[in-house]
Chain A
């Protein structure tokens, strides 16, 4: 196990809601914090709430021109402004200006993104595969201190893929993904849980800033390895739905030969992979157009060294 790691204290923290304009928990929480910021204040810092995609929020749609949470790559952030560019490209540049620039020393230290999904993920913590130390300790702290539920860790980005989500603008980031919740619906239970997660995460940062040593630990995580689309007709129309045995089974093992789809004529389609995988985002509404019925993950074990501020 590696020796104690040290990181700079965390002073500039932002919390974004409404990266997707119809994912209501984060939108409602941020609107509340904009009126009453006290819940985001700690001894050593205050977190800044903001609404990422105001036009999409106003229309209660995921996005207006293109998915904002796929727009934080160099290609878009460094592009020149044009008349007919999608609204979200402008927004991404603005957010990069306020909380970045991405990759620079001036960027915010930490950015949280708040999401909902129609999939039965419960409450999961999504971190980037490349940024292991601070977010992993935060996740571990949440898992051991936030007792409202169980919080699996999902590692996103394939290792050589550029990070594209909003939290990649800051030096460190974490996404809270809560479901199932329909788009455009606000459930009190998930709202409470999301508020508690943010509070717990900010408590962690405060303790870190105050010099707490967080000991080394081992943890299990789910690493994204690819996705599976729906069976479709030649014209692109779905010819099957997620099988009732797979529906709502996020984070549970899927073995070769297990049913994954059922056609409208009643036939079963089985999983053809070679190994057991852990499906997540099963039947997410926004992923039909991205040609994803579910994402595949594999379980992995991480050894995280001890952490203390510099």
Chain B
């Protein structure tokens, strides 16, 4: 099919009541590492693939591994001036100033190379590799519950990794969603694997991340080759609220994550369950009426963002059937 016909055809198919979505074939893929310079799995995988990329090649596909924050990687720190993974909004991408933060300049360069965000020539798919100090296992991050392509990919990855669990975290929310590095692509995929301390490279965590990417790329190849994926449902955890540590008047933390909540990412939290432990040994309990599923429990980088954990709720999403529009 010629390019100038793909767009309107895609639109036409989305508008019909047909249960199969025709999606443009995926041609350009990027794999980002080092968006946070001290999250080492992605850093070392990308550096390895830049030297030897055989493992990430699939026929008909251009896959580019890329280090997004090289100065932070060199210093083994999360960021130099500001968090790169929060500045891909139109305001920052459009800033024209003498003295802008390093990460904002980097974001503009990345947007030029792999975007522009929202345009037809933006990369089709970006995998953004992250680690967390939280016990989240191999989590896939979904930005938009309407993206059938990504939901089908996640369904495929989850099946491939089963019985190992692969939670899907939906960050779609009016004010909690943030402008990620990967959001410049048509299909943004976050891969968050933990627990791993900042500045540490664990073989088991690297291996888990590597498997997720392998299955993600396999999905793209199979999709491009014309396979039809029937409609499917996936269970996701949708973000509803961030919870900060209890603090005193001077903003000091006065209670910490309770041992019963520590490491219990994705496990149900019910009313009355312990959440925090004060210096004096008192337990602060969860007071909400309905069950929530906490995640990002005790993430090192979130102390400064005033986030002890986030609350999610379980939601079942349905993805429409999917096929490449060129098949």
Binding site for B on A (CB under 8 A): 28, 31-32, 36, 60, 118, 180-189, 191-192, 237-238, 241-244, 247, 262, 264-265, 283-286, 288-289
Q: Name the A residues within 8 Å of B277 (CB-CB).
A: 188
Of the A-B pairs whose beta carbons lie under 8 Å apart in the complex, a sample of 29, sorted by A's number, is A28-B256, A32-B279, A36-B279, A60-B304, A182-B300, A183-B197, A183-B199, A183-B300, A185-B133, A186-B253, A187-B257, A187-B262, A188-B256, A188-B257, A188-B258, A188-B277, A189-B259, A192-B259, A242-B202, A242-B203, A247-B203, A247-B204, A264-B45, A283-B201, A283-B202, A284-B200, A285-B200, A288-B76, A288-B199
B253 partner residues in chain A, CB cutoff 8 A: 28, 186
- In the bound complex, do residue A285 and residue B198 qualify as a contact, i.e. CB atoms below 8 Å apart? yes
A189 to B262 alpha-carbon distance, docked (Å): 9
Q: In the complex, what distance in Å separates the CA atom of A101 from the CA atom of B198?
A: 36
User: Is B100 an interface residue when CB atoms closer than 8 A count as contact?
Assistant: no
| A60–B199 CA distance with the chains assembled, in angstroms | 14
A-B contacts, CB under 8 A, total: 88
**Judging by beta carbons under 8 Å apart, are B202 and A241 in contact?**
yes
Interface residues of B in 39-62 (CB under 8 A from A): 44-45, 47-48, 52
State in angstroms the CA–CA spacing of A237 and B299 once bound together.
27
Interface size class of B (residues with CB under 8 A): 20 to 34
- CB contacts under 8 Å to A, within B195-220, are 195-204, 206-207
Which residues from chain A contact B52 at a C-beta distance below 8 Å?
265
Q: How far apart are the CA atoms of A237 and B201 in the complex, in Å?
A: 13
Residues from chain B with Cβ under 8 Å of A28 in the complex: 253, 256
Is B139 on the interface with A (CB-CB < 8 A)? no
**Interface pair B256/A118, CB less than 8 Å apart:** no
- Are B203 and A184 in contact (CB-based, < 8 A)? no
Q: Chain A's nearest CB lies how many Å from the CB of B28?
A: 24
Asked if B256 contacts A186 (CB within 8 A), the reply is yes
Q: Are A241 and B201 in contact (CB under 8 A)?
A: yes
Name the contact of A184 in the complex, choosing from B195, B196, B258, B300 (C-beta under 8 A): B300
- At the interface, yes or no: B312 with Cβ under 8 Å from chain A? no
B9 sits at the interface (CB 8 A)? no
Expressed in whole angstroms, the Cα–Cα distance for A188 and B277 within the complex equals 8
Interface of B is mostly: loop
* 19 additional A-B residue pairs with CB within 8 Å, beyond A118-B199, A264-B45: A28-B256, A182-B198, A182-B200, A183-B197, A184-B301, A185-B299, A185-B300, A186-B298, A188-B257, A188-B259, A188-B262, A238-B201, A242-B201, A244-B204, A244-B207, A247-B203, A285-B197, A285-B200, A288-B76
Taken together as a complex, chains A and B put the C-alpha atoms of A187 and B297 apart, in Å, by 11
CA distance A163 to B207 in the complex (A): 40
B residues in contact (CB < 8 Å) with A: 44-45, 47-48, 52, 76, 133, 195-204, 206-207, 252-253, 256-259, 262, 277, 279, 298-301, 303-304
Chain B residues, CB < 8 A from A32 = 279
Cβ B48 vs Cβ A264 within 8 A: yes
Q: Is the CB of A241 within 8 A of B197?
A: no
Is the pair B200, A283 in contact by a Cβ cutoff of 8 Å?
yes
Say whether A243 contacts B203, CB under 8 Å. Answer: yes
B278 CB, min distance to chain A CBs, angstroms: 10
Q: Which residue of A lies closest to B254 (CB)?
A: A32
Q: Which of B195, B203, B299 touches A241 (beta carbons < 8 Å)?
A: B203
Residues of chain A contacted by B262 (CB below 8 angstroms): 187-189
The answer, among B200, B206, B257, for a CB contact under 8 Å with A118, is B200
- Measured between beta carbons, the chain A residues less than 8 angstroms from B200 are 118, 182, 283-285
Query: What is the distance, in angstroms, from A37's C-beta to the closest C-beta of chain B?
Result: 13
Docked pose: A209 CA to B284 CA in angstroms:
39
> Which chain A residues border B206 with CB–CB below 8 Å?
241, 264
Known: A185-B300, A187-B298, A247-B204. A286 touches B279 (CB 8 A): no
- Of B45, B200, B262, which is in contact with the most chain A CB atoms at under 10 Å from its CB? B200
Write out the residue numbers on chain A whose beta carbons fall within 8 Å of the beta carbon of B258: 188
User: Could you tell me the distance between the alpha carbons of A13 and B76 in the complex, rounded to whole angstroms?
Assistant: 36
Q: How far is the CA of A60 from the CA of B298 in the complex (A)?
A: 15
Q: A244-B203, A247-B203, A264-B44 are known contacts. Are A184 and B252 too (CB-CB below 8 A)?
A: no
Instruction: State whether A118 and B298 are in contact (beta carbons under 8 Å apart), knowing that A188-B262, A237-B47 are contacts in the complex.
Output: no
Among A28, A31, A184, which residue has the most Cβ atoms of chain B within 10 A? A184
Q: How far is the CA of A247 from the CA of B195 in the complex (A)?
A: 14
**Closest approach, in angstroms, between the C-beta of A214 and any C-beta of chain B?**
31
* A183 and B279 contact, Cβ closer than 8 Å, known pairs A188-B256, A241-B44: no
- Nearest 8 pairs of A and B residues by beta carbon: A182-B197, A285-B199, A184-B300, A264-B48, A182-B133, A118-B197, A244-B203, A188-B259
Asked if B202 contacts A31 (CB within 8 A), the reply is no
Nearest B-chain residue to A185, judged by Cβ: B300
- Check A183/B202 contact, CB under 8 A, given A28-B256, A188-B262: no
Residues in A whose Cβ lies below 8 Å from that of B300: 182-185
The complex places the Cα of A31 from the Cα of B254 at a distance, in Å, of 10
Q: Smallest distance from the beta carbon of A164 to chain B beta carbons, Å?
A: 22
- Assembly CA distance A211 to B262 (angstroms): 43
Q: Which residue of chain B has the shortest Cβ distance to A62 in the bound complex?
A: B199
By the criterion CB–CB under 8 Å, are B279 and A247 in contact? Answer: no
CA distance A184 to B45 in the complex (A): 24
